[in-house]
Structure 1
């Protein structure tokens, strides 16, 4: 924080095990049981998300469904229903729009909210958070975890501290010390590869990161060095934007073990496309270009693209297109460590009437500026 910038009230809300929670809500027989949303164990699919009951067995998102089955044979495997998830997300957005229009959606189940100038609940972000959480539960039967702080970085971390159904606040007084104690692997935006590199440089905590001068961080991490320098001090000036024109929407996964089987790789791409489409829908956009990203075990990276005359609106029918894009690659010859799907050539049919309301809210204590 700097003296010339006003203290902000930023909220991050993350719906708890969103897809799985919707399935448990809609099917009482699933409640209290391990539910896995994604591909079937015999279909070479992956886990999109799973219930908290399933997570107790070590099941995680992006895990192969076959591995999830080995960890928990009694788990209930459910095919994703993205249309239903989009409808539920829209209902939640309508709740948020009653508080503010300053939203920045990240996906169907996650978003930022700036409530700095919101007067509801006496201007308290924590009270706003509680009120919205209550409304979500009453109107959808689902729970959300919220993080409240004075910037995006800390709000994002706070929302993950007390899942499920949590509400955590990191005050300006707590922020710098909290970051110093945080392992760098817990920093949002620092992936496994960067974490490994930092560990090799003996940077293991926020305090270790804070001790490095900006010049050395830039030398080792390029442009990201400035961001690491700032967040190590609890500084993040990124604004919450209620609408950002997107050039592309995508999702990618680096796998803990390299993939070799072409059919498994194809199924992974189909699952990734479903996730990319969910993000596209959250942004109220359509796409015409599909791009496949592949990084081999030797870190050589390629992309293959196809532009279609019609808008891309669903996964159905795209297995053949994805298979065709894989033909001109070394899949099946070289092992794959990363896969990604990007959707581009974006358009918004209702751009002139665009009103983004895709966020979640929480509030700050009364000592925050009103």
Structure 2
């Protein structure tokens, strides 16, 4: 599959420390933007776009702290946009961990800033948000030289999605409030359109996997999670189950041991959420569906005998039903040498 796959880019609109519905509708959708970002970081979204709607420098500093926290906790690339007045604001976003900083090409001071920030940080670090068609049509040469991506935000000048402005050689992400599934497929198949963002993605986040499958069937390139080994490659126990050792990717701490059947294995790969087979209840269970303490897959690896699976995960909250972060807290034997250390770690 071509690397130029079509992207699904959920968007977070930051306003006064909370996530709101959109640039113009400040209805709160989540008091905790980091929690919202983690819900998008589930293996189906490809990138994340964050709009900072700060009105003061103090609010902006608070927003930068939140963006930094999000960048530290999600695996998908983040683009930061909003409240850019000078080069220093672009620097803050990039140093916070954003893959790109998006200038607002509806502001003349941001248009004038494009060449300077591209020279300083590199064109690949700079995107442009265009809230009106004229912002693109009047700056095509400047965009080609200094910008690596366009985000077209719809609804401002009421340009319909199929007429979203594009510049040859620059991918455009259409940030939309809404679109039908049928029209989304048409849009994703258009030349120059690199993906869809905004509430058109936010409202579909639980269905993105299915939509990607439909697009793939239409030969539209999308990023799909695929495993290297089929279920048949593993050696199962006498019950037809595969033991899974679960390890936290951020700390290397072993969190728990569980079991998978074939359906749990396939669902884990497809959804990016650890799914197991309950031996006591005789049913599938998605870790976190009851508690909210989801485990998002970072990697899966079989052992030398292919009879045990190691799952490295991003753990939300506690892994153990007791409330302990790890199920392994009943210490049986401990090294009493205070100087003992792992020479492989500093």
The structure carrying a bigger helix percent of its residues is: 1
> Fold conserved (TM > 0.5)?
no
Higher relative contact order (CA 8 A, sep 6+): 1
Normalised to the residue count of structure 2, the TM-score between the two structures is: 0.26
